[in-house]
Structure 1
Protein backbone atom coordinates (compact mmCIF):
# COMPACT_ATOMS: atom_id res chain seq x y z
CA UNK A 1 0.00 0.00 0.00
CA UNK A 2 1.30 3.47 -0.84
CA UNK A 3 1.98 5.87 1.96
CA UNK A 4 0.81 9.46 1.67
CA UNK A 5 2.33 10.74 4.91
CA UNK A 6 6.09 10.69 5.22
CA UNK A 7 6.56 9.98 1.52
CA UNK A 8 4.50 13.02 0.54
CA UNK A 9 6.35 15.44 2.80
CA UNK A 10 9.82 14.01 2.13
CA UNK A 11 9.18 14.35 -1.61
CA UNK A 12 8.78 18.11 -1.12
CA UNK A 13 12.52 18.26 -0.40
CA UNK A 14 13.05 18.07 -4.17
CA UNK A 15 10.27 20.42 -5.19
CA UNK A 16 10.64 23.36 -2.81
CA UNK A 17 14.19 24.41 -3.79
CA UNK A 18 13.25 24.16 -7.48
CA UNK A 19 10.14 26.28 -6.92
CA UNK A 20 12.18 28.90 -5.06
CA UNK A 21 14.68 28.93 -7.93
CA UNK A 22 11.84 29.30 -10.44
CA UNK A 23 10.42 32.23 -8.48
CA UNK A 24 13.86 33.84 -8.41
CA UNK A 25 14.28 33.33 -12.16
CA UNK A 26 10.92 34.93 -12.92
CA UNK A 27 11.76 37.88 -10.66
CA UNK A 28 15.18 38.20 -12.30
CA UNK A 29 13.84 38.33 -15.85
CA UNK A 30 11.13 40.83 -14.92
CA UNK A 31 13.52 43.10 -13.05
CA UNK A 32 16.16 42.90 -15.78
CA UNK A 33 13.63 43.55 -18.53
CA UNK A 34 12.12 46.48 -16.59
CA UNK A 35 15.56 47.94 -15.93
CA UNK A 36 16.78 47.87 -19.53
CA UNK A 37 13.36 48.82 -20.86
CA UNK A 38 14.14 52.27 -19.49
CA UNK A 39 17.49 52.56 -21.29
CA UNK A 40 17.22 53.71 -24.90
CA UNK A 41 19.60 52.06 -27.35
CA UNK A 42 22.11 54.51 -28.79
CA UNK A 43 21.01 54.11 -32.39
CA UNK A 44 17.36 54.65 -31.53
CA UNK A 45 16.09 51.60 -33.38
CA UNK A 46 12.78 50.02 -32.38
CA UNK A 47 12.39 46.30 -31.84
CA UNK A 48 10.48 45.83 -35.08
CA UNK A 49 13.12 47.76 -37.04
CA UNK A 50 15.90 45.60 -35.63
CA UNK A 51 13.95 42.42 -36.29
CA UNK A 52 13.25 43.45 -39.88
CA UNK A 53 16.85 44.44 -40.56
CA UNK A 54 18.28 41.19 -39.20
CA UNK A 55 15.74 39.10 -41.09
CA UNK A 56 16.42 40.92 -44.36
CA UNK A 57 20.18 40.71 -43.98
CA UNK A 58 19.88 36.96 -43.51
CA UNK A 59 17.74 36.53 -46.61
CA UNK A 60 14.52 35.99 -44.64
CA UNK A 61 12.39 38.69 -46.28
CA UNK A 62 9.46 36.28 -46.40
CA UNK A 63 9.32 36.02 -42.60
CA UNK A 64 6.70 38.44 -41.30
CA UNK A 65 6.63 40.36 -38.02
CA UNK A 66 3.42 40.79 -36.07
CA UNK A 67 2.40 42.82 -33.04
CA UNK A 68 0.80 40.84 -30.20
CA UNK A 69 -0.60 41.70 -26.80
CA UNK A 70 0.83 40.92 -23.40
CA UNK A 71 4.28 41.39 -21.91
CA UNK A 72 7.19 39.02 -22.53
CA UNK A 73 4.87 37.08 -24.83
CA UNK A 74 7.32 37.39 -27.74
CA UNK A 75 7.94 34.27 -29.80
CA UNK A 76 8.68 32.85 -33.23
CA UNK A 77 6.02 30.68 -34.87
CA UNK A 78 7.81 28.13 -37.12
CA UNK A 79 4.54 26.88 -38.64
CA UNK A 80 3.57 30.28 -40.03
CA UNK A 81 7.12 31.66 -40.13
CA UNK A 82 6.14 34.74 -38.16
CA UNK A 83 8.04 36.64 -35.47
CA UNK A 84 5.54 37.97 -32.93
CA UNK A 85 6.59 40.86 -30.71
CA UNK A 86 4.77 42.36 -27.73
CA UNK A 87 4.08 46.10 -27.53
CA UNK A 88 7.12 47.05 -25.44
CA UNK A 89 9.37 45.15 -27.83
CA UNK A 90 7.68 45.95 -31.15
CA UNK A 91 7.54 49.73 -30.66
CA UNK A 92 10.17 50.11 -27.95
CA UNK A 93 13.59 51.61 -28.59
CA UNK A 94 15.21 50.29 -25.42
CA UNK A 95 18.09 47.87 -25.00
CA UNK A 96 15.58 45.32 -23.74
CA UNK A 97 13.34 45.80 -26.79
CA UNK A 98 15.99 45.21 -29.42
CA UNK A 99 17.61 42.36 -27.46
CA UNK A 100 14.36 40.41 -27.21
CA UNK A 101 13.50 41.16 -30.85
CA UNK A 102 16.92 39.90 -31.98
CA UNK A 103 16.50 36.77 -29.86
CA UNK A 104 13.21 35.87 -31.52
CA UNK A 105 14.74 36.47 -34.94
CA UNK A 106 17.50 34.12 -33.78
CA UNK A 107 14.87 31.37 -33.72
CA UNK A 108 13.81 32.28 -37.25
CA UNK A 109 17.43 31.94 -38.38
CA UNK A 110 17.68 28.58 -36.59
CA UNK A 111 14.60 27.42 -38.49
CA UNK A 112 15.91 28.64 -41.82
CA UNK A 113 19.30 27.01 -41.35
CA UNK A 114 17.90 23.68 -40.19
CA UNK A 115 19.17 23.88 -36.61
CA UNK A 116 18.59 20.29 -35.44
CA UNK A 117 17.77 21.03 -31.80
CA UNK A 118 14.97 23.41 -32.82
CA UNK A 119 13.45 20.79 -35.12
CA UNK A 120 13.59 18.19 -32.36
CA UNK A 121 11.99 20.58 -29.87
CA UNK A 122 9.20 21.47 -32.29
CA UNK A 123 8.49 17.79 -32.91
CA UNK A 124 8.25 17.23 -29.14
CA UNK A 125 5.99 20.23 -28.51
CA UNK A 126 2.58 18.51 -29.03
CA UNK A 127 3.59 15.54 -26.87
CA UNK A 128 5.09 17.82 -24.21
CA UNK A 129 1.93 19.93 -24.11
CA UNK A 130 -0.16 16.82 -23.46
CA UNK A 131 2.36 15.45 -20.97
CA UNK A 132 2.60 18.65 -18.92
CA UNK A 133 -1.20 18.78 -18.55
CA UNK A 134 -2.05 15.16 -17.88
CA UNK A 135 1.03 13.28 -16.62
CA UNK A 136 1.01 14.46 -13.01
CA UNK A 137 -2.81 14.25 -12.60
CA UNK A 138 -2.63 10.74 -14.07
CA UNK A 139 0.09 9.73 -11.62
CA UNK A 140 -1.81 11.15 -8.64
CA UNK A 141 -4.96 9.38 -9.82
CA UNK A 142 -2.84 6.24 -9.65
CA UNK A 143 -1.85 7.11 -6.07
CA UNK A 144 -5.49 7.70 -5.15
CA UNK A 145 -6.62 4.42 -6.74
CA UNK A 146 -3.47 2.65 -5.55
CA UNK A 147 -2.80 1.51 -9.12
CA UNK A 148 0.91 1.26 -9.87
CA UNK A 149 0.29 0.97 -13.62
CA UNK A 150 -1.27 4.46 -13.74
CA UNK A 151 1.51 5.90 -11.61
CA UNK A 152 4.21 4.44 -13.84
CA UNK A 153 2.38 5.54 -16.98
CA UNK A 154 2.12 9.09 -15.61
CA UNK A 155 5.86 9.09 -14.86
CA UNK A 156 6.80 7.87 -18.34
CA UNK A 157 4.56 10.47 -19.97
CA UNK A 158 6.05 13.18 -17.76
CA UNK A 159 9.54 12.25 -18.97
CA UNK A 160 8.48 13.52 -22.41
CA UNK A 161 7.75 16.94 -20.88
CA UNK A 162 11.17 16.92 -19.24
CA UNK A 163 12.83 16.08 -22.56
CA UNK A 164 11.13 19.12 -24.08
CA UNK A 165 12.42 21.41 -21.33
CA UNK A 166 15.93 19.98 -21.58
CA UNK A 167 16.18 20.37 -25.37
CA UNK A 168 14.82 23.91 -24.98
CA UNK A 169 17.99 24.97 -23.17
CA UNK A 170 20.45 24.71 -26.11
CA UNK A 171 17.79 26.16 -28.44
CA UNK A 172 17.34 29.26 -26.28
CA UNK A 173 21.03 29.76 -25.52
CA UNK A 174 21.86 29.39 -29.19
CA UNK A 175 19.17 31.94 -30.16
CA UNK A 176 20.63 34.41 -27.66
CA UNK A 177 24.14 33.83 -29.01
CA UNK A 178 22.86 34.45 -32.54
CA UNK A 179 21.08 37.59 -31.34
CA UNK A 180 24.24 39.14 -29.91
CA UNK A 181 26.20 38.19 -33.02
CA UNK A 182 23.58 39.76 -35.29
CA UNK A 183 23.32 42.92 -33.21
CA UNK A 184 27.08 43.46 -33.21
CA UNK A 185 28.00 42.28 -36.71
CA UNK A 186 25.27 44.41 -38.27
CA UNK A 187 26.25 47.46 -36.26
CA UNK A 188 22.87 47.67 -34.52
CA UNK A 189 24.38 48.28 -31.08
CA UNK A 190 27.60 49.84 -29.83
CA UNK A 191 30.23 47.82 -27.99
CA UNK A 192 29.34 49.43 -24.68
CA UNK A 193 25.76 48.17 -25.05
CA UNK A 194 26.69 44.50 -25.51
CA UNK A 195 26.94 43.79 -21.78
CA UNK A 196 23.45 45.20 -21.18
CA UNK A 197 21.98 43.17 -24.04
CA UNK A 198 23.57 40.01 -22.66
CA UNK A 199 22.14 40.77 -19.21
CA UNK A 200 18.63 40.86 -20.64
CA UNK A 201 19.07 37.62 -22.56
CA UNK A 202 20.86 35.79 -19.72
CA UNK A 203 18.04 36.66 -17.32
CA UNK A 204 15.51 35.28 -19.79
CA UNK A 205 17.55 32.09 -20.23
CA UNK A 206 17.47 31.56 -16.47
CA UNK A 207 13.72 30.92 -16.64
CA UNK A 208 14.35 27.95 -18.95
CA UNK A 209 16.95 26.56 -16.56
CA UNK A 210 14.38 26.92 -13.77
CA UNK A 211 11.78 25.08 -15.86
CA UNK A 212 14.18 22.13 -16.20
CA UNK A 213 14.87 22.18 -12.46
CA UNK A 214 11.17 22.19 -11.57
CA UNK A 215 10.32 19.40 -14.02
CA UNK A 216 13.17 17.19 -12.76
CA UNK A 217 12.18 17.92 -9.15
CA UNK A 218 8.60 16.88 -9.94
CA UNK A 219 9.86 13.65 -11.50
CA UNK A 220 11.97 12.87 -8.43
CA UNK A 221 8.98 13.64 -6.25
CA UNK A 222 6.81 11.20 -8.18
CA UNK A 223 9.50 8.51 -7.91
CA UNK A 224 9.78 9.03 -4.15
CA UNK A 225 6.01 8.80 -3.75
CA UNK A 226 5.84 5.68 -5.91
CA UNK A 227 8.47 3.99 -3.78
CA UNK A 228 6.89 5.06 -0.47
CA UNK A 229 4.98 2.31 1.28
CA UNK A 230 3.22 2.03 4.57
Structure 2
Protein backbone atom coordinates (compact mmCIF):
# COMPACT_ATOMS: atom_id res chain seq x y z
CA UNK A 1 0.00 0.00 0.00
CA UNK A 2 2.86 2.37 0.87
CA UNK A 3 4.49 1.83 -2.53
CA UNK A 4 1.16 2.47 -4.28
CA UNK A 5 0.86 5.79 -2.44
CA UNK A 6 4.43 6.79 -3.36
CA UNK A 7 4.36 5.62 -6.99
CA UNK A 8 0.74 6.29 -7.99
CA UNK A 9 -1.16 8.50 -5.54
CA UNK A 10 1.49 11.17 -4.92
CA UNK A 11 2.34 11.63 -8.65
CA UNK A 12 -1.40 11.82 -9.35
CA UNK A 13 -1.81 14.58 -6.76
CA UNK A 14 1.24 16.33 -8.21
CA UNK A 15 -0.44 16.20 -11.61
CA UNK A 16 -3.63 17.73 -10.24
CA UNK A 17 -1.57 20.46 -8.57
CA UNK A 18 0.29 21.21 -11.83
CA UNK A 19 -2.97 21.49 -13.76
CA UNK A 20 -4.43 23.81 -11.14
CA UNK A 21 -1.23 25.85 -11.17
CA UNK A 22 -1.21 26.42 -14.94
CA UNK A 23 -4.90 27.28 -15.07
CA UNK A 24 -4.54 29.67 -12.14
CA UNK A 25 -1.46 31.34 -13.62
CA UNK A 26 -3.01 31.57 -17.09
CA UNK A 27 -6.40 32.84 -15.89
CA UNK A 28 -4.61 35.49 -13.82
CA UNK A 29 -2.20 36.73 -16.48
CA UNK A 30 -4.66 36.56 -19.37
CA UNK A 31 -6.39 39.44 -17.61
CA UNK A 32 -3.25 41.60 -17.64
CA UNK A 33 -2.76 43.43 -20.96
CA UNK A 34 0.74 44.19 -22.19
CA UNK A 35 1.64 47.83 -22.60
CA UNK A 36 2.52 47.35 -26.25
CA UNK A 37 -0.91 45.85 -27.04
CA UNK A 38 0.69 43.43 -29.49
CA UNK A 39 -1.45 40.35 -30.13
CA UNK A 40 -0.24 36.81 -29.68
CA UNK A 41 -0.30 36.27 -33.43
CA UNK A 42 1.82 39.36 -33.98
CA UNK A 43 4.26 38.31 -31.26
CA UNK A 44 4.68 34.82 -32.71
CA UNK A 45 5.21 36.31 -36.18
CA UNK A 46 7.81 38.76 -34.84
CA UNK A 47 9.74 36.05 -33.00
CA UNK A 48 9.82 33.83 -36.08
CA UNK A 49 10.67 36.74 -38.36
CA UNK A 50 13.67 37.58 -36.17
CA UNK A 51 14.88 34.00 -36.67
CA UNK A 52 14.43 34.14 -40.43
CA UNK A 53 11.34 31.91 -40.47
CA UNK A 54 8.89 32.92 -43.20
CA UNK A 55 7.17 29.65 -44.14
CA UNK A 56 5.18 28.86 -40.98
CA UNK A 57 1.46 29.63 -41.04
CA UNK A 58 -0.07 30.97 -37.84
CA UNK A 59 -3.61 29.66 -37.37
CA UNK A 60 -6.38 30.08 -34.81
CA UNK A 61 -7.72 26.96 -33.04
CA UNK A 62 -10.61 26.48 -30.65
CA UNK A 63 -10.26 25.79 -26.95
CA UNK A 64 -8.07 27.04 -24.12
CA UNK A 65 -4.37 26.17 -23.94
CA UNK A 66 -4.67 24.12 -27.12
CA UNK A 67 -1.69 25.96 -28.58
CA UNK A 68 0.94 23.89 -30.39
CA UNK A 69 3.49 23.88 -33.17
CA UNK A 70 3.08 21.37 -36.01
CA UNK A 71 6.52 20.77 -37.57
CA UNK A 72 5.16 18.46 -40.28
CA UNK A 73 2.62 20.89 -41.72
CA UNK A 74 4.60 23.97 -40.72
CA UNK A 75 1.75 25.50 -38.72
CA UNK A 76 1.77 27.36 -35.43
CA UNK A 77 -1.64 27.00 -33.80
CA UNK A 78 -2.80 29.48 -31.17
CA UNK A 79 -5.99 29.19 -29.15
CA UNK A 80 -8.48 31.99 -29.61
CA UNK A 81 -7.52 34.03 -26.53
CA UNK A 82 -3.84 33.77 -27.37
CA UNK A 83 -4.23 34.47 -31.11
CA UNK A 84 -6.08 37.76 -30.70
CA UNK A 85 -5.22 38.56 -27.09
CA UNK A 86 -2.64 41.11 -25.98
CA UNK A 87 -2.24 39.77 -22.44
CA UNK A 88 1.03 38.73 -20.84
CA UNK A 89 -0.20 35.12 -20.86
CA UNK A 90 -1.07 35.26 -24.57
CA UNK A 91 2.31 36.73 -25.50
CA UNK A 92 4.19 34.20 -23.39
CA UNK A 93 2.38 31.21 -24.88
CA UNK A 94 2.64 32.55 -28.44
CA UNK A 95 6.36 33.20 -28.11
CA UNK A 96 6.84 29.74 -26.59
CA UNK A 97 5.27 28.09 -29.63
CA UNK A 98 7.40 30.28 -31.88
CA UNK A 99 10.34 28.96 -29.88
CA UNK A 100 9.45 25.47 -31.12
CA UNK A 101 9.49 26.77 -34.70
CA UNK A 102 12.99 28.11 -34.09
CA UNK A 103 14.06 24.74 -32.68
CA UNK A 104 12.79 23.12 -35.85
CA UNK A 105 14.65 25.57 -38.06
CA UNK A 106 17.99 25.19 -36.27
CA UNK A 107 17.66 21.41 -36.02
CA UNK A 108 17.52 21.23 -32.22
CA UNK A 109 18.58 17.65 -31.48
CA UNK A 110 16.10 16.82 -28.71
CA UNK A 111 13.22 18.00 -30.88
CA UNK A 112 14.38 15.62 -33.60
CA UNK A 113 14.42 12.76 -31.08
CA UNK A 114 10.92 13.65 -29.90
CA UNK A 115 9.61 13.73 -33.48
CA UNK A 116 11.18 10.33 -34.13
CA UNK A 117 9.55 8.84 -31.03
CA UNK A 118 6.13 10.47 -31.56
CA UNK A 119 4.47 7.90 -33.90
CA UNK A 120 5.40 4.89 -31.77
CA UNK A 121 4.47 6.78 -28.60
CA UNK A 122 0.98 7.46 -29.93
CA UNK A 123 0.49 3.73 -30.47
CA UNK A 124 1.92 2.92 -27.04
CA UNK A 125 -0.35 5.48 -25.36
CA UNK A 126 -3.40 3.91 -26.96
CA UNK A 127 -2.46 0.34 -26.02
CA UNK A 128 -0.75 0.67 -22.64
CA UNK A 129 -3.84 1.20 -20.49
CA UNK A 130 -5.66 -1.83 -21.95
CA UNK A 131 -2.57 -4.04 -21.60
CA UNK A 132 -1.94 -3.03 -18.00
CA UNK A 133 -5.57 -3.44 -16.91
CA UNK A 134 -5.77 -6.81 -18.62
CA UNK A 135 -2.47 -7.83 -17.03
CA UNK A 136 -3.62 -6.88 -13.54
CA UNK A 137 -6.95 -8.72 -13.95
CA UNK A 138 -5.15 -11.83 -15.19
CA UNK A 139 -2.08 -11.38 -13.02
CA UNK A 140 -2.12 -14.95 -11.70
CA UNK A 141 -1.89 -16.40 -15.22
CA UNK A 142 0.94 -16.52 -17.74
CA UNK A 143 -1.11 -14.40 -20.14
CA UNK A 144 -1.45 -11.72 -17.47
CA UNK A 145 2.30 -11.58 -17.06
CA UNK A 146 2.72 -11.22 -20.81
CA UNK A 147 0.23 -8.36 -20.92
CA UNK A 148 2.03 -6.63 -18.05
CA UNK A 149 5.40 -7.02 -19.72
CA UNK A 150 4.15 -5.54 -23.00
CA UNK A 151 2.33 -2.80 -21.07
CA UNK A 152 5.54 -2.01 -19.18
CA UNK A 153 7.37 -1.74 -22.49
CA UNK A 154 4.73 0.68 -23.78
CA UNK A 155 4.97 2.74 -20.58
CA UNK A 156 8.76 2.80 -20.86
CA UNK A 157 8.44 4.31 -24.33
CA UNK A 158 5.98 6.90 -23.05
CA UNK A 159 8.37 7.76 -20.21
CA UNK A 160 11.23 8.16 -22.67
CA UNK A 161 9.11 10.45 -24.86
CA UNK A 162 8.09 12.57 -21.88
CA UNK A 163 11.67 12.71 -20.61
CA UNK A 164 12.88 13.97 -24.00
CA UNK A 165 10.00 16.46 -24.05
CA UNK A 166 11.29 18.21 -20.92
CA UNK A 167 14.40 19.84 -22.45
CA UNK A 168 12.40 20.64 -25.61
CA UNK A 169 9.81 22.57 -23.61
CA UNK A 170 12.34 24.22 -21.29
CA UNK A 171 14.43 25.36 -24.25
CA UNK A 172 11.39 26.78 -26.08
CA UNK A 173 10.46 28.70 -22.93
CA UNK A 174 14.00 30.05 -22.61
CA UNK A 175 13.95 31.22 -26.21
CA UNK A 176 10.50 32.79 -25.77
CA UNK A 177 11.46 34.81 -22.70
CA UNK A 178 14.64 36.09 -24.32
CA UNK A 179 12.93 37.09 -27.56
CA UNK A 180 10.01 38.87 -25.90
CA UNK A 181 12.42 41.22 -24.14
CA UNK A 182 15.01 41.61 -26.90
CA UNK A 183 12.37 42.48 -29.50
CA UNK A 184 10.69 44.95 -27.17
CA UNK A 185 7.39 43.05 -27.22
CA UNK A 186 7.27 42.95 -23.42
CA UNK A 187 9.10 45.21 -20.99
CA UNK A 188 11.43 43.69 -18.43
CA UNK A 189 9.12 44.86 -15.65
CA UNK A 190 6.22 42.94 -17.30
CA UNK A 191 8.07 39.63 -17.42
CA UNK A 192 6.77 38.44 -14.07
CA UNK A 193 3.45 37.48 -15.65
CA UNK A 194 5.21 35.72 -18.54
CA UNK A 195 7.49 33.84 -16.13
CA UNK A 196 4.55 32.76 -13.99
CA UNK A 197 2.55 31.46 -16.97
CA UNK A 198 5.36 29.62 -18.76
CA UNK A 199 6.90 28.19 -15.59
CA UNK A 200 3.52 26.79 -14.56
CA UNK A 201 3.12 25.26 -18.03
CA UNK A 202 6.54 23.63 -17.71
CA UNK A 203 5.47 22.08 -14.41
CA UNK A 204 2.71 20.11 -16.18
CA UNK A 205 5.33 18.36 -18.33
CA UNK A 206 7.34 17.45 -15.24
CA UNK A 207 4.19 16.12 -13.56
CA UNK A 208 3.32 14.01 -16.61
CA UNK A 209 6.76 12.42 -16.64
CA UNK A 210 6.69 11.73 -12.88
CA UNK A 211 3.25 10.10 -13.16
CA UNK A 212 4.29 7.85 -16.04
CA UNK A 213 7.54 6.90 -14.31
CA UNK A 214 5.67 6.04 -11.12
CA UNK A 215 3.23 3.83 -13.07
CA UNK A 216 6.12 2.09 -14.82
CA UNK A 217 7.92 1.35 -11.54
CA UNK A 218 4.66 0.05 -10.08
CA UNK A 219 4.18 -2.37 -12.98
CA UNK A 220 7.80 -3.52 -12.75
CA UNK A 221 7.29 -4.27 -9.05
CA UNK A 222 4.17 -6.28 -9.88
CA UNK A 223 6.18 -8.29 -12.42
CA UNK A 224 8.96 -8.78 -9.89
CA UNK A 225 6.41 -10.05 -7.34
CA UNK A 226 5.10 -12.59 -9.88
CA UNK A 227 8.60 -13.97 -10.44
CA UNK A 228 9.11 -14.29 -6.68
CA UNK A 229 5.93 -16.38 -6.27
TM-score range, shorter chain: over 0.9
State the alpha-carbon separation in 2 of the partners of residues 161 and 78 from structure 1. Answer: 20
Matched residue pairs, number?
Answer: 223
Any stretches of 5+ residues in structure 1 without a counterpart?
1-5
* Contact 1:67/1:85 (<8 A) preserved: yes
Match of 1:52 in 2: 45
Which residues of 2 match residues 68-147 of structure 1 at below 5 A? 68-145=61-138, 146=141, 147=143
Q: Shift of the alpha carbon at 1:179?
A: 0.2
State the TM-score, normalized to the length of structure 1.
0.92
Return the alpha-carbon distance in structure 1 between the equivalents of residues 85 and 49 of structure 2. Answer: 20
Map residues 3-22 of structure 1 onto 2, 5 A cutoff.
10-22=3-15
Write the distance in 1 (CA, Å) between the matches of 2:63 and 2:53.
Answer: 26
CA positional deviation for 1:195: 2.2
Give the aligned partner of residue 152 of structure 2: 155
Residue segments in structure 2 that go unaligned for 5+ positions in a row: none
CA RMSD of aligned residues (A): 1.4
| Matches of 2:50 and 2:135, distance apart in 1 | 54
Deviations 1:142-181 (A, max 9, x none): 3333222222122112101110000000000000000011
TM-score, structure 2 as length reference: 0.93
C-alpha distance in structure 2 between counterparts of 1:174 and 1:10, whole Å = 34
Equivalent pair of 1:173/1:205 in contact (CA under 8 Å): yes
C-alpha separation between the residues in 2 aligned to 1:51 and 1:10? Answer: 45
Q: Deviations over 1:12-66 (max 9, x none)?
A: 4310000000000000000000000010001110101111111112111111100
Q: 1:201 maps to what in 2?
A: 198
1:217 equivalenced with 2:210 (yes/no): no
Structure having greater relative contact order (Cα 8 Å, sep ≥ 6): 1
CA contact (8 A) 1:11 1:224 kept: no
**Deviations 1:175-196 (CA, angstroms, capped at 9, x unpaired):** 0000011111111111101222
